[in-house]
Amino acid sequence: LKQTIDLAGFDGVVGFYLYHLGTGEELHFVHYQGQDVAIPPDVSFTAASAIKVPIMISVLRRIDWAKLPENSETERWLREMITKSGNDPSDWLMENVLDPVRGPLIVTADMRYLGLENTFLAGFFYPGAPLLARFETPGNQRDDVYTDPDPYNQTSPSDMGSLFVDLYQCATRGGGLAVAFPGEITRDECQYMLDLLAENRIGALLEAAVPEGIRVAHKHGWVPNLQGGMHVINDSGIVYTPNGDYVLSIFLYRQGGLYWGPHAKLLQNLARAVYNYYNPPQGAPPAPEPTPTPSPTPAPGP
């Protein structure tokens, strides 16, 4: 994986988190200019639209999804937020379900309760929205690697990975989020959230790394910069494969900007290497065993 990064000539920061949901195998690294960055703590990145997964979880915690009328406004905006990455639906949900002023801070509090120290949302999405709070996290206080993270929304690869692990465990065994928020988030609600995430189809990044027909429940994010490139590209989710399901979260940052062609392809190639490791192409020799790295506790629109 790191050789893939170096051979691509990528001189930015790659944050990578992998967790096999059957075996518990975990691989977590941050790679920068040919070198590994010491972790923990994990490195903070701008979350971009990845933060909509925490918003969705906070909303589902506070509604009874089973009693929502079919085609209700809340359900419609949830679908728009996840499958079309809408910012206005995100604001509507926070204002109307969480709190019209403190909605983003409620999302942050929920993530802190889950132990995700690097994940926060400090303001609404609408242009000119005030910054409601400034958050110092283990990831954004590092001085050895810098990703220029947005003061409005941040996360880390391991935080997003852990969140998807919680969603999966909740949907399959009633663990994860159902244990963290008993009586507030149910197994059926977690399955509903994963089904929404599987409808997020962009034909790129994690999706483009797997054969047609492989289910990928994911949320991507990127932010354009003033130079015509992108500030960050990320994608996190669950890949359901014949040889076991796994969570994968990859974040890219490069000073001076990212460009869709080469850098989306880099993320896709990393994701394809993981898929092929667990599901070797016919006739291919067995892949070498990866070396797990200790981890902290557990163009389309952005």
Residue 18 lies in a domain: yes
Domain harbouring 33, CATH code: 3.40.710.10
pLDDT at 289 over 80: no
162-188: b (≥16 Cβ within 10 Å) or e: bbbbbbbbbbeeebbbbebbeeebbbe
Residue 293 lies in a domain: no
Residue 299 lies in a domain: no
pLDDT at 211 over 60: yes
Distance, C-alpha 135 to centroid of its chain: 19
Range of the domain at 28: 2-278
Residue 181 lies in a domain: yes
pLDDT at 284: 52
Residue 290 lies in a domain: no
Alpha-carbon distances of 96 from 63, 89, 93, 238, rounded to whole Å = 11, 10, 5, 29
As given in the structure block, the two tokens for residue 147 are: 């990703």
Residue 111 lies in a domain: yes
Residue 288 lies in a domain: no
Question: Could you read off the pLDDT of 228-287 as tens digits, one per residue?
Answer: 899 999 999 999 999 999 999 999 999 999 999 999 999 999 999 999 999 999 865 444
List the one residue out of 119, 139, 121 whose CA is nearest residue 130: 121
Does pTM top 0.75 for this prediction? yes
Tell me what the pLDDT averaged over the chain comes to. Answer: 93
Counting the structural domains of the chain, the total is: 1
Residue 208 lies in a domain: yes
pLDDT at 28: 98
pLDDT at 192: 96
pLDDT at 300 over 60: no
DSSP-derived letter for residue 50 is: G
Question: Could you read off the pLDDT of 151-194 as tens digits, one per residue?
Answer: 999 999 999 999 999 999 999 999 999 999 999 999 999 999 99
Least confident piece of the model among 39-43, 87-91, 113-117, 289-293: 289-293
